[in-house]
Structure 1
Amino acid sequence: MNRRNVLRAQVAVGAAAALGGAAGVAAAAQPSPAGKPAGPLRVHVVLYDGVEELDFAAPYEVFCAARFFTDREVDVRYVSTSGPGVVRAAYGTRVTVEHGWDPRAADILLVPGGGYARRDSPGVWAEIRSGVLPKQLAAAARSGLTVSAVCTGTMLLAAAGLTTNRPCTTHHKARPDLEKQGGLLKNGRVVDDGDLVTAGGITSGLDLALWLVRRELGAEAATGVEAMLEYEARGTVWTPPCAGRR
């Protein structure tokens, strides 16, 4: 464990203690919810040129922090359809992607947004015009995989045909486009339709990831991450009526 992880672990224990003394400390290593797989939770965050920094960094941080509040292994990695290399994000941040495209090795595929207002620049529109990422997303769908998107990342799912006649949401300026493409718009901050989970708004990546942590690793893990990050999930999570598993 490197120095950064040591420091984070110390913060995690402090956060757990703040949640309720000895009981809170015990919450830092809660087992996975009943019925959930015992193997690692594998999260692949998709990167491409022009991706919004907050869209991918916030969920990445949440899932990584969740490791301290569950006994289930959490494997979080950046992936790209172009394979390992360097991605230049919307505000110029350069991110090294060490892993290639391998959605069959993922439990959650998370697609950030970015650049939707700049049609001639790198970002969502460029990826839609290229067609490579939408095609790969369409081919990735399978039983056992949750495909999720932050903000205008949902428009990449729409281009892949994954939101047609499905409850979903996106950034408020892209909502008319999403509806035209067959998405069933819902007004939740996060819209959970089982194997399709979307969130609307740039900062909604925090709420999407916290919801998925809660769903996959349990409420104790989610509240532990909230305490560690000093952030409380906001907005409504829309789920289908009579969604008994939630």
Structure 2
Amino acid sequence: MDVAFVLYPKMTALDLVGPYEVLGHQPEVTSHFVAESLEPVVTDAGLTMLPTTTFAELDRADLIVVPGSGRWEDALADGVVAAWLREVHPTATWTTSVCTGSTLLAQAGILAGRPATTHWAVRDELAARGAVVSTDRVVVDGSVVTAAGVSAGIDLALTLVGRIWGDERGRFTQLFIEYDPQPPYRVEVPDEPPADLVTFARSVFGQ
């Protein structure tokens, strides 16, 4: 199974690395880190990642993982990722996104009229781009799977492992990576976030 992990400038590293740590260890998977060029890609927190192939070279994949970004509007304005998604999505078995990566799927026309989730701070923006926005952590709609903010990428990948290779493999993988979240703080993702938090989150996202 060929899995394309999409890289682009200012992407969020955990959006991609979380799913990669779950999917990349599956024996059937061949991982491809695909970007516009083979030049190093610097994430929004400064981590440097190296592509292994380019959008021009990779014209198909069984599974596509699109990470989000703290600068997601820059990726939309660039348009390169969305253009590639329009080409490869029709032949992919699974097309997925994490966090604000859903806005790139929407830009490519993949989420029109479909249920999808994203980071809570950009739900309105995703809805404005044609998606039927859900507050669920992971949304599966046919071959399209979307995850909420950042850490939800691990949940997305475990969901895919169960769907593709069965629940037993999924449970083993979850045990293997010791995914049993016990965060030090109880912070619930808001259905109706306070206005001051939304304002702050938008400032972080550069809006």
User: For the superposition of Structure 1 and Structure 2, which TM-score range results when normalised by the shorter chain?
Assistant: 0.7 to 0.9
Aligned mates of 1:134, 1:128 — CA distance in 2: 8
Structure 2 length normalisation: TM-score? 0.82
Q: Per-residue CA shift, 1:27-49, capped at 9, x if unaligned?
A: xxxxxxxxxxxxxx221110011
Q: Does the residue aligned with 2:68 lie in a helix, a strand or coil?
A: coil
Structure-to-structure mapping, 1:54-73, within 5 angstroms:
54-67=14-27, 73=28
How many residues are paired up?
Answer: 181
Find the partner of 2:172 among 216, 224, 240: 224
Partner of 2:62: 107
Give the superposition deviation at 1:65: 2.6
* Residue number among 97, 105, 110 corresponding to 2:51 in the alignment: 97
Does the CA-based 8 Å contact 2:60-2:88 persist in structure 1? Answer: no
In 1: Cα distance, 2:162 partner to 2:180 partner: 13
CA-atom RMSD in angstroms: 1.7
Per-residue deviation, residues 41-74 of structure 1 (Å, max 9, x unmatched): 221110011010110111111112333xxxxx21
CA distance in 1, matches of 2:23, 2:33: 12
- In 1, are the aligned partners of 2:69 and 2:100 still within 8 Å (CA)? yes
Structure 1 segment 42-61 matched on structure 2, within 5 A:
42-61=2-21
Q: Report deviation, 1:105.
A: 3.3
Q: 2 CA distance for matches of 1:143 and 1:75? A: 17
Partner of 2:30: 75
**How far apart are residue 233 of structure 1 and its match?**
8.4
Say yes or no: does 1:147 pair with 2:107: no
* Cα offset, 1:232, TM superposition: 4.2
**Aligned position for 1:15:** none
Q: Which amino acid aligns with 1:50?
A: K
Following superposition, the deviation at residue 144 of structure 1 comes to 4.2
Aligned partner letter, 1:78? F
Question: Aligned partners of 1:61 and 1:190: how far apart in 2?
Answer: 18
1:123-202 → structure 2 map (5 Å cutoff): 123-202=71-150
The residue identity in structure 1 corresponding to 2:40 is: V
Cα distance in 2, alignment partners of residues 144 and 138 from structure 1: 11
Larger Rg: 1
8 A contact 1:110–1:149 mirrored in 2: yes
Paired amino acid for 1:130: D
Q: Are the structure 2 counterparts of residues 110 and 233 from structure 1 closer, same or farther at C-alpha, using a change threshold of 3 Å? A: farther
C-alpha separation between the residues in 2 aligned to 1:134 and 1:213? 25
Partners of 1:66 and 1:219 lie apart in 2 by 14
List gaps (5 residues or longer) in structure 2.
Answer: 183-207
Question: Is residue 66–residue 221 contact of structure 1 (8 Å, CA) maintained in 2?
Answer: no
Deviation, structure 1 residue 216: 0.8
Kept in 2: contact 1:65–1:225 (CA 8 A) = no
Aligned structure 1 segments of 4 or more residues deviating by more than 4 angstroms: none
| Rounded Cα–Cα distance in structure 1 between residues aligned with 2:50 and 2:92 | 28
Q: C-alpha distance in 1, partners of 2:92/2:4?
A: 14
Counterpart amino acid of 1:52? T
Unaligned runs of 5+ residues in structure 1 are 1-40, 68-72, 116-122, 235-246
